[in-house]
Structure 1
Amino acid sequence: MGQIIWINGLAGAGKTTTAKALCAKLEELHAKGELKSKGVIYTDGDDFREVFEHSFGYSKEARINITRKKIALCVALAKQGFCVVHTAISLFNECYKHNRELCEKNHLKYIEIYIKCPIEVLEKRDQKGLYSKAKAGLQKDVVGVDIAYDEPKPNITINGAGNLEENIKEILKFLGYSNDR
């Protein structure tokens, strides 16, 4: 049965790390026949931009537009019976609402996971230099600095500064799998 697990949070919150660890566990469950899907597919917001040669901008309107395209791809894959795990900043109430409505319309299970992380931790992780460049005035349209972020009202919130293994156990428990995996 197809489903979408949408993992969001600010840049540096641990979305990719969490998603990859979660996908590994979900693939184990699939191999045992416990995850009823054709398989697990991981898609990433940054990879999506690369596929489309960065033709989407970073303004609020552009970000909403690309989120609509990302959820449409996830829906298409989930309708084929896959468990789709997607990571994205997401950002805005319009995005969260659209995602839920589209999945509901297509009779798909949609789970939103928010990785909440203190700004101090995000700034320390700053792999892409987004926060430091934005604070220095060298970069615009950085979420959490000069673009306001609508904090989601997800199905589950995990601590981005917390222990990855514990976070994965918490997510699996929420998804209905025992905590001893």
Structure 2
Amino acid sequence: MATNITWHSNLTHDERKSLSNQSGVTIWLTGLSASGKSTIACALEQYLLQHGKSAYRLDGDNIRFGLNKDLGFTEQDRNENIRRISEVSKLFADSTTIAITSFISPYKKDRDNARKLHTDDNLPFVEVYVDVPLEVAEQRDPKGLYKKAREGIIKNFTGISDPYEAPETPEIHLHTDKTTVEESAQIIIDYLKSKNYI
């Protein structure tokens, strides 16, 4: 635990919003592997950037190549993975960037902590439950992970050997077995517009 540190204040969040002419917000996509989180996040990021908004996507796999490459998939490591992403996405939102996170984030407590981190600083947090039946996710299985999990090759796999605690009251609930990527992204865009986030 670092002790010899000092927080250096500079611009307030409201001043940043005024200068950048944009609100910061974190859009937190959660759901099973192969639910469509990353694909929707990519479509959303492209839309926002094409419409002149500052946005950045934080993806579960990509983050583990750098920031979180020291973490595995035990419950403790998953907790730390989400804690770090919560802090990073909060910094993005404070900078008035739209942070789009796509992480399984299977534990309700971790997602609640991410939300609290934002709301304590009056930063918007939009939880998006990317919901798909397990059997559909297994049929998709683009990385072959469910097959390996069923064979016991991958341990601690969410939905098979580890739990997924579904959000109870997300701001947005997508059913990606019934909606296309474009339709799912549009639902998020419409919500952001309704809240004057974009």
One fold, TM greater than 0.5? Answer: yes
Q: Aligned pair in 2 of structure 1 residues 74, 152: CA closer, same or farther (>3 Å)?
A: same
Instruction: Look up the SS of the partner of 2:143 in the other structure.
Output: coil
Equivalent in the alignment of 1:169: 186
8 Å contact from structure 1 (residues 5, 113) kept in 2: yes
Equivalent in the alignment of 1:141: 156
Instruction: Look up the SS of the partner of 2:163 in the other structure.
Output: coil
Code of the residue aligned with 1:166 in structure 2: it is E
Equivalent in the alignment of 2:58: 43
Greater Cα radius of gyration, structure 1 or 2: 2
Establish whether residue 15 from structure 1 lines up as the match of residue 37 from structure 2: yes
Cα distance in 1 for partners of 2:141, 2:48 equals 28
**How do 1:66-85 residues align onto structure 2 when only pairs under 5 Å count?**
66-85=81-100
1:53 positional shift: 6.2
Equivalent in the alignment of 1:125: 140
Equivalent in the alignment of 2:176: 160
8 Å contact from structure 1 (residues 45, 70) kept in 2: no
Cα distance in 2 for partners of 1:125, 1:54 equals 26
Establish whether residue 99 from structure 1 lines up as the match of residue 114 from structure 2: yes
Instruction: Look up the SS of the partner of 1:4 in the other structure.
Output: strand
Q: Which runs of 5+ in 1 are unaligned?
A: none
Q: Which runs of 5+ in 2 are unaligned?
A: 1-22
Equivalent in the alignment of 2:105: 90
Equivalent in the alignment of 2:73: 58
8 Å contact from structure 2 (residues 68, 81) kept in 1: no
1:125 positional shift: 1.7
Identity %: 29
Code of the residue aligned with 1:170 in structure 2: it is I
Q: Aligned pair in 2 of structure 1 residues 89, 53: CA closer, same or farther (>3 Å)?
A: closer
Q: Aligned pair in 2 of structure 1 residues 53, 104: CA closer, same or farther (>3 Å)?
A: closer
Q: Which of 124, 133, 136 is residue 109 of structure 1 equivalent to? A: 124
Task: Spell out, residue by residue over 1:70-99, the C-alpha distance to the aligned partner (whole angstroms, 9 max, x if none).
Answer: 110111121111111111001001111101
Aligned-residue CA RMSD in angstroms?
1.4
Equivalent in the alignment of 2:16: none
Cα distance in 2 for partners of 1:74, 1:44 equals 11
The count of aligned residue pairs is: 170
Instruction: Look up the SS of the partner of 1:148 in the other structure.
Output: coil
Task: Spell out, residue by residue over 1:109-137, the C-alpha distance to the aligned partner (whole angstroms, 9 max, x if none).
Answer: 10011110111221122122221111112
